[in-house]
Amino acid sequence: MKRDEIYEALMDSEIEPAVPRPEFGRTLPFVRARVPLEEIYQLSLDAEKPAELVLSAARSGPDELAAAMRALDGKPYRGFALLYAAQKGGPLVAVDPRKALALAQAILAEAASLPEVNRDARATTPAPRQAVQAEARLLESQAFVMMGETNDARTAVASARSLFMESGDLGFGAALCDYYEGEAASFGRDYAAAESLIRGALKTFEEFGQDHLLAKAEAAMGTVVENRGDHAAALSYFDRAIALFDSQRDARALTATLSNRANALAQLARFDEARATYARAMNIALRNEATAQLRYIRTGLAELDFLRGQYARALRAFREIAAESASNGSPTDVLFARLYVAECLGRTGQFDAMAAEVEALRHDRKQTVFSPSPALGELFVCLDQGTIDADLVAHVREYLQAEDSGVERAYEPLRLVG
């Protein structure tokens, strides 16, 4: 989008600009009849509660969702309600991506009966089919990303892009598509595409003055750059995002970005700054009772101790994290915490305890997605052979962490041959 200095000056002027009028002899212009904006605004307000009901029904199940959709039939605000339900479906993606996908697809189908967008540039259609279906496709893409289906996510965004264009988008919808496709590309490890897409979104969000979206795009760029291994460059993106987030309204996003910043600092061996950043993230997570984020931060802090060679302290922290994750976390979190515990024990000369920890891991191995991994296989064979040590545990952990991040590579045994 271009900028126009005179337009900007008119908009910023302290004196309100007025439409120039001839002093006399004015002919009454032809003025098209329009639906008063006030009425459309009221429709959008009326759609708020029904949209929430649709979201609530989507959380409950397909029957409830179908009933909520039928409750919208014939209502003048139906288009807005579907539109807002699609836009507000994000939290459901985090909790249950399959239900979010079902919601997106239900909205897509329901929207088929909405009025088409009016092609006349001077006419307006509140919540036309194309706009609603575009938002449904964006929600669908988020659900696909959460399910690890990045190609499907990008296909959904491509469809959203066409629909936004049909709906007479003024650039903002395209920027949303860039952002979400960039996220999908990032998850799919197509970092070059991710960077280009998110950079485009950044520019438009800035032009439209939406700081919270700009912050999200900056944070996403930081992650892309971080994943490409440029931790120093990632920091500047994280810093800009952190400055733009609202500490109250964006508490979770801010906490997560602070965690990512701390992670980048740790990679750069700037441990004190990393600790201070984790501490700030922890304060916000505690205020918001964000349990999963708190565990993530505590794991980061324990890793800092570990990297600094403070194994006794790291051991205590990882034991607590392992115990807590066992009761309310994921088996993957438990696995990594226990591998750290074993490694700390090995590094502090407690070899029997290390062997016992690995034995316990073997006992519970079927609970994790890494159960068939050859890395764990080597670990357990070496345990039986009495050749296990901290270096082997570290080798296995690093391989599994890379796998958990989506890096696909063959396992190279450290001790076993053939």
Partner 1 sequence: MQTKVDSLAPLEGWDRRPRPAPPELELPARPVWNWEELNAKFRPRLVAAGVIRFGLSEDDCEAAAQRVFLKALAMNPRVRDPKSFLRAAFLEQCYRLLGERP
Stretch touching partner 1 by CB under 8 A, among 30-38, 70-78, 341-349, 356-364: 30-38
Q: Is 291 in the site for partner 1 (CB under 8 A)?
A: yes
Least Å from the CB of residue 289 to partner 1: 9
Q: Is 252 in the site for partner 1 (CB under 8 A)?
A: yes
Q: Enumerate residues 343-362 that contact partner 1 by CB under 8 A.
A: none
Least Å from the CB of residue 322 to partner 1: 13
How many angstroms separate the CA atoms of 67 and 356, rounded? 55
Question: Which residues have a Cβ under 8 Å from the Cβ of 130 and sit 6 or more positions away?
Answer: 116, 117, 163, 164, 166, 167
How many angstroms separate the CA atoms of 126 and 117, rounded? 8
Q: Is 405 in the site for partner 1 (CB under 8 A)?
A: yes
Contact between residue 270 and residue 307 where contact means Cβ atoms under 8 Å apart:
no
Q: Is 145 in the site for partner 1 (CB under 8 A)?
A: yes
Q: Enumerate residues 84-143 that contact partner 1 by CB under 8 A.
A: 84, 87-88, 90-91, 93-95, 121-127, 131, 142
Can you state the angle between helices 331-347 and 291-307, rounded to 10 degrees?
Answer: 20
Contact between residue 43 and residue 76 where contact means Cβ atoms under 8 Å apart:
yes
Q: Is 408 in the site for partner 1 (CB under 8 A)?
A: no
Q: Is 287 in the site for partner 1 (CB under 8 A)?
A: no
Least Å from the CB of residue 415 to partner 1: 24
Least Å from the CB of residue 417 to partner 1: 29
Contact between residue 361 and residue 342 where contact means Cβ atoms under 8 Å apart:
yes
Can you state the angle between helices 97-111 and 78-87, rounded to 10 degrees?
Answer: 150
Q: Is 28 in the site for partner 1 (CB under 8 A)?
A: no
Contact between residue 225 and residue 237 where contact means Cβ atoms under 8 Å apart:
yes
Q: Give the residue, chosen from 176, 244, 339, 354, that forms a contact with partner 1 under the rule CB under 8 A.
A: 176
Beta strands in 122-240, from DSSP E residues, in sequence order: none
Q: Enumerate residues 7-26 that contact partner 1 by CB under 8 A.
A: 7, 10-11, 16-20
How many angstroms separate the CA atoms of 357 and 338, rounded? 7
Q: Enumerate residues 206-235 that contact partner 1 by CB under 8 A.
A: 207-213, 216, 219-220, 223, 226-227
